[in-house]
Structure 1
Amino acid sequence: MEKSMVKNMAINFSGLVLPTFVSLITVPAYIHLVGVERYGVISLVWTLIGYFGILDLGMGMAAQHQISKAHAANDPEARSRVFWSAIWLNLGTGIIGGILIYFGAFAYTAYVAHSSPAMQQEVYHALPWLALAIPIANVSWVCAGAINGVERFGIYNTNQTIGTFLFQLLPLAAAWKIAPNLQTVLAAAVVARVLAVIMLARASFKVLDIKRIEWPQLGVAGGLFKFGGWMLVATISSMITDSLDRILLGANLGARFVTYYTVPQNLVTRLNMLPNSLVRTLFPRLSAVKREHADAMVQQSLEFLNGVFTPIALFVMLVLAPFLHLWVGQEIAIASAPVGRILIIGVWLVGQASVTRIMIQSQINPATAARIGIVQLPFFVTALWFGIARFGPIGAASVVVLRSLADYGLLLWISRLHARPIAADMLMHLAFLVAGLGVAFVIDPIEYPLQSIAAAFVISGLNLGCSLLTRPALRSMARSFVHELNVRLKRRVKSTV
């Protein structure tokens, strides 16, 4: 795996981690200032705005794909045409979304959020700000796609992190200094988004060397819609699949079992930040290179992901129960830890499936990847219903893992990669995860937490050692990393002397 890609992956990972910490820190302050009910309404409103993100129509990813190709061909005029066509299209769909949310937000708050009459009045006053948020978000996705399309991840993540800080801290300051109501908080949030999109747009103009405003071109817009439409279908299919386990658990067993399932699920899915940073790094590069280079790149990326992600997954699997015990108490920890351990394997498989999925989307056809998700859906629902009815949350988690394994297998087969070495590497690491699952069930982690932590270090170390022994590319990468670290340490020591 190229050094530049590892560097870009580290940048993208940092860009995903930092906003997460900011969100965790600011949530208690928000609840203290605006109250539990008002914060709940704010969360629901932003969730609604997130759903309206489908009005992007996959244009952000489509623009990134086309700009990557134009950048590789050193064609600045094509980059500019794609950028402006995507901007105008997303601005138009964003305005439509803003009108829809303006008329639909009150009904959503009144009938779904079950808010009080006083809170409904606050929503009324905040409606213009909610409507404005949709086109702003749509434009920002195109700007983000453009910057990532030319692989300027440092610029993107810097702007994105600053934008996230503004989005979290400006409404908090407004609630503290002006008034702790919905209108003030949401207005400040929209102002923060406007500042963020201005920064992204300015960065886009700079990295794409854009000097003038252009109108959309019909041919370019048609290509963007064709690619983006199938990306949108894949996104919707993924959204449905990702929520079905909780919906069916609640329908079959009740809210208590949903809690036992979602507490570990929300925790372990944060491990996705590592594969997501790799996917964000790979997509523009795969869009720009020829097929033979893409094959080698994907194989190296999967080996790297297995070598780095598997030890982390193993460690988390074995320390999950003690952590849950400290975090949410013994009762929930006992019920949730087995579910979380199984879901870790699902998260690990989804990370690898994401790499093969973007290979298909960028090199073959995005429609193919979207159809795989649609075809699997009825089988997944049937298996999920049976698993929940017979085995409860453990059954739901097991079906999610089996579905992730089937998804990865199908994507690997359709991608027309050299599947045998990739599958062999995956199965070796999967065997470690299954062994780790067995160890976690044998040792009582709540009664013997120190033994669980010790076992986590041992089995993670064994897996890492096995990866370094069997994969020369990983050995070379590790040597380079140690050498560079040593050089930097020596320079630092000399500078301090």
Structure 2
Amino acid sequence: MPIFLLLGVDYNAQNDGFEESRKYLINNIAHTMPHTPSKIDSIKAKKLTSGPLLARNSIWNLVGQIAPMAVGIVAIPRLIHALGTDRFGVLTIAWMVVGYFSFFDLGLGRAMTNLVAQKLAAEKDHELPAVIWTANLLMAVLGLLGGVVLAFLSPVLVHHLLKTPPALQRETTRAFYLLSLSVPFVISTAGFRGILEARQKFRIINSVRIPMGIATFAAPLVVLPWSKELTAVIGILVVARAVFWLTYIYLATRDMPQILRTVEIDRSLLPMLFSFGAWMTVSNIVSPVMEYLDRVLVGMLLSLTAVAYYATPYEVVTKLLILPGAIVAVLFPAFSTALVADHAHAGKLFRRTVKYVTLTLLPLTLLMVLFARNGLDIWLGPAFASHSTRVLQWLAIGVFANGIAALPFALIQGAGRADLTGKLHLLELPFYVATVWVLTTNFGIEGTAIAWAVRVIVDAILLFWVAGRFADIFLRYRSIFAATAVIGTAFALAMIRMSLPIKLLVAVLMLISLSAVTWFMLAADERALLQGLRGRLLPPRIQAKATRA
């Protein structure tokens, strides 16, 4: 089975569309380098973008996301039982508020990571202290501002926006005041973590992220034997945030000690940081709006019961995006480095990651579409399955496209063009609102799922086109159309109602076909790696039989 977009992606050094981006990078980063601008002979850059390093870091990120989720599954029922539903509801809102107030960094953390990675690629380490301290000072100021804003809004949130029971209003207000103290730590942490991200130190990052994620659920459990007050529960979370903030500062300065020797603020960096960061903020604001809009409109236009039928499969299928999310977090600084040091290598890196993510997500989403009704029937019962099967199928198709779209998104932002992704999101928003409204009104929650799938598919197409235009990746449109048609046919086949034995037969045939295509798509070194892995994993007797065969 041809791979969506993979067959249509090729590197083309003659693409004039990259010149605007590359000249921007050269003028701002590498104008004093003695080497040719298109390729910097940097051992450091090669190490920071090597395949084995990126693979290990992606695995670390995956573990860093899954481990806290596993703890949360165990801890949340105990928290609900101990705190009660009202207090636990306040705790969940506190978790959400801290996440949203992280937007107060105005994208400066991401901008700093991008710029530090580019400086490392250009071997201009002497300029790093100015970049790091300028960005972190701005983030510290914004963090303090965010904390003050949250403290000021706390009474309004508790007494007017949230339906807080009267008996809990005073306690909740005090808890939100405490919560506001964590905002500066949250925002400043992103800055020091960004230093480690630019240096591809994801093992170190996740050695902090994992206990920090676990503490989000476990720390409240620690104080429950002494107090069930929200001030105690949220207070321990604030203390934990402060401890992890200090830990990131220590690890970042230990990894890059020169930033302690030179503390420098460079005002000339402000336009570059704010330009990149501002467009990052646009994406950070618009993306959550589009993420939650479908469920809000289902509640407005249909019913809360319909929200349950829609949101449940949504929460399940979108968990597949953890995989591309873990990879993209590693690729963003890698692309930032590679596009300066050797953009031919950036193209190769992009093609390979598209291939790997595609070959991983495609069988998972196809099987989810094929067995949607059976899975929902076993898990939630026939009544729920009758309402949510089509929803799950359409959402799975969208998740496939959305997972692959994360890769050109990272490439474009790694090229310093966060403005392009921000503009795309602004362009998509009104069309998405109209599409969700019309399809939900006429076709119910299946229409909502179709609208979401169409939006992310269009988003993927636009992102690949923009990546080809501005990041030197040539798209062969005939191959794209052919691959899309074949994969679309496979998804359409998987959506046909059929008996379980027929589904099992179709699943086997699909997996065999995909395995054959996967082997064909792999390069010689990738095949050799798989054969070597098989040699280490299979018993000698089975290896001998395979060799004789």
CA deviations 1:338-389 (Å, max 9, x no partner) are 1011111111111222211222222252111211111122122222211111
Which whole-Å CA distance do the structure 1 matches of 2:320 and 2:477 have between them?
22
Higher relative contact order structure (alpha carbons within 8 Å, sequence separation ≥ 6): 2
Q: Retained in 2: the 8 A contact 1:342–1:397?
A: yes
1:238 is matched with 287
2:442 is matched with 390
Which whole-Å CA distance do the structure 2 matches of 1:212 and 1:379 have between them?
51
Q: Retained in 1: the 8 A contact 2:114–2:416?
A: no
| Cα distance change, pair 109–453 in 1 and its aligned pair in 2 (3 A) | farther
Match for 2:408: what amino acid?
Answer: T
| Greater mean deviation of Cα atoms: 196-205 or 102-111 | 102-111
The one of 467, 472, 478 equivalent to 2:522 is: 472
The question of 1:376 aligning with 2:428 is answered yes
Q: Give me the TM-score of the superposition, normalised by structure 2.
A: 0.82
Once the 2 structures are TM-superposed, how far is the Cα of residue 462 of structure 1 from its aligned partner? 2.5
CA deviations 1:207-229 (Å, max 9, x no partner) are 22233472533122332111111
| Cα distance change, pair 68–430 in 1 and its aligned pair in 2 (3 A) | farther
The one of 89, 94, 105 equivalent to 2:143 is: 94
- Long gaps (5+) in structure 2: 1-49, 541-549
Q: Retained in 1: the 8 A contact 2:276–2:416?
A: no
The question of 1:278 aligning with 2:327 is answered yes
2:348 is matched with 296
2:490 is matched with 435
Matched residue SS, 1:442? coil
Once the 2 structures are TM-superposed, how far is the Cα of residue 78 of structure 1 from its aligned partner? 2.2
Once the 2 structures are TM-superposed, how far is the Cα of residue 231 of structure 1 from its aligned partner? 0.9
The one of 344, 360, 370 equivalent to 1:308 is: 360
| Cα distance change, pair 418–58 in 1 and its aligned pair in 2 (3 A) | closer
Q: Retained in 1: the 8 A contact 2:71–2:214?
A: yes
Match for 1:477: what amino acid?
Answer: E
Once the 2 structures are TM-superposed, how far is the Cα of residue 316 of structure 1 from its aligned partner? 2.8
Match for 2:486: what amino acid?
Answer: A
2:103 is matched with 54
Q: Give me the TM-score of the superposition, normalised by structure 1.
A: 0.91
1:247 is matched with 296
Of all paired residues, the percent bearing the same amino acid is 25
Match for 1:472: what amino acid?
Answer: L
Paired residues for 1:64-83 under 5 Å: 64-83=113-132
Once the 2 structures are TM-superposed, how far is the Cα of residue 436 of structure 1 from its aligned partner? 4.0
| Greater mean deviation of Cα atoms: 266-275 or 327-336 | 327-336
2:385 is matched with 333
| Greater mean deviation of Cα atoms: 319-328 or 35-44 | 319-328
Match for 2:419: what amino acid?
Answer: A
Matched residue SS, 1:170? helix
Q: Retained in 1: the 8 A contact 2:391–2:445?
A: yes
The question of 1:200 aligning with 2:248 is answered yes
CA deviations 1:451-494 (Å, max 9, x no partner) are 6566445423432322222x132x64254044146347889xxx
2:17 is matched with none
| Greater mean deviation of Cα atoms: 61-70 or 207-216 | 207-216
Once the 2 structures are TM-superposed, how far is the Cα of residue 301 of structure 1 from its aligned partner? 1.5
Once the 2 structures are TM-superposed, how far is the Cα of residue 116 of structure 1 from its aligned partner? 0.9
Higher helix content, 1 or 2: 1
Once the 2 structures are TM-superposed, how far is the Cα of residue 269 of structure 1 from its aligned partner? 0.7
Matched residue SS, 1:86? helix
Which whole-Å CA distance do the structure 2 matches of 1:328 and 1:5 have between them?
39
Match for 1:300: what amino acid?
Answer: R
The question of 1:25 aligning with 2:74 is answered yes
Once the 2 structures are TM-superposed, how far is the Cα of residue 202 of structure 1 from its aligned partner? 1.4
| Cα distance change, pair 95–261 in 1 and its aligned pair in 2 (3 A) | same
Once the 2 structures are TM-superposed, how far is the Cα of residue 260 of structure 1 from its aligned partner? 1.0
1:405 is matched with 457
Once the 2 structures are TM-superposed, how far is the Cα of residue 294 of structure 1 from its aligned partner? 2.1
Match for 1:265: what amino acid?
Answer: Y
- Long gaps (5+) in structure 1: 492-497
CA root-mean-square deviation? 2.4
| Cα distance change, pair 82–338 in 1 and its aligned pair in 2 (3 A) | same
Once the 2 structures are TM-superposed, how far is the Cα of residue 405 of structure 1 from its aligned partner? 1.7
Which whole-Å CA distance do the structure 1 matches of 2:66 and 2:505 have between them?
26
Which whole-Å CA distance do the structure 1 matches of 2:244 and 2:262 have between them?
20
CA deviations 1:71-103 (Å, max 9, x no partner) are 223333322222222221111111111111112
The one of 386, 406, 409 equivalent to 1:354 is: 406
Which whole-Å CA distance do the structure 1 matches of 2:508 and 2:235 have between them?
48
Once the 2 structures are TM-superposed, how far is the Cα of residue 151 of structure 1 from its aligned partner? 0.7
1:190 is matched with 238
Match for 2:490: what amino acid?
Answer: A
Match for 1:466: what amino acid?
Answer: V
Which whole-Å CA distance do the structure 2 matches of 1:273 and 1:57 have between them?
24
Which whole-Å CA distance do the structure 2 matches of 1:121 and 1:427 have between them?
62
Which whole-Å CA distance do the structure 2 matches of 1:490 and 1:400 have between them?
46
Equivalent residue pairs, number: 484
Q: Retained in 2: the 8 A contact 1:52–1:97?
A: yes
| Greater mean deviation of Cα atoms: 243-252 or 179-188 | 243-252
| Greater mean deviation of Cα atoms: 205-214 or 134-143 | 205-214
Matched residue SS, 1:115? coil
Match for 1:354: what amino acid?
Answer: A
CA deviations 1:245-264 (Å, max 9, x no partner) are 11221221121111111111
Once the 2 structures are TM-superposed, how far is the Cα of residue 317 of structure 1 from its aligned partner? 2.8
Once the 2 structures are TM-superposed, how far is the Cα of residue 34 of structure 1 from its aligned partner? 0.6
The one of 228, 233, 243 equivalent to 2:277 is: 228
| Greater mean deviation of Cα atoms: 220-229 or 151-160 | 220-229
| Cα distance change, pair 394–91 in 1 and its aligned pair in 2 (3 A) | same
| Cα distance change, pair 458–35 in 1 and its aligned pair in 2 (3 A) | farther
Which whole-Å CA distance do the structure 2 matches of 1:423 and 1:25 have between them?
49
2:313 is matched with 264
| Cα distance change, pair 403–188 in 1 and its aligned pair in 2 (3 A) | same
The question of 1:460 aligning with 2:511 is answered yes
| Greater mean deviation of Cα atoms: 426-435 or 327-336 | 426-435
Which structure would you say has the larger Rg? 2
Q: Retained in 2: the 8 A contact 1:55–1:94?
A: yes
1:414 is matched with 466
| Cα distance change, pair 276–376 in 1 and its aligned pair in 2 (3 A) | same
Which whole-Å CA distance do the structure 1 matches of 2:481 and 2:320 have between them?
18
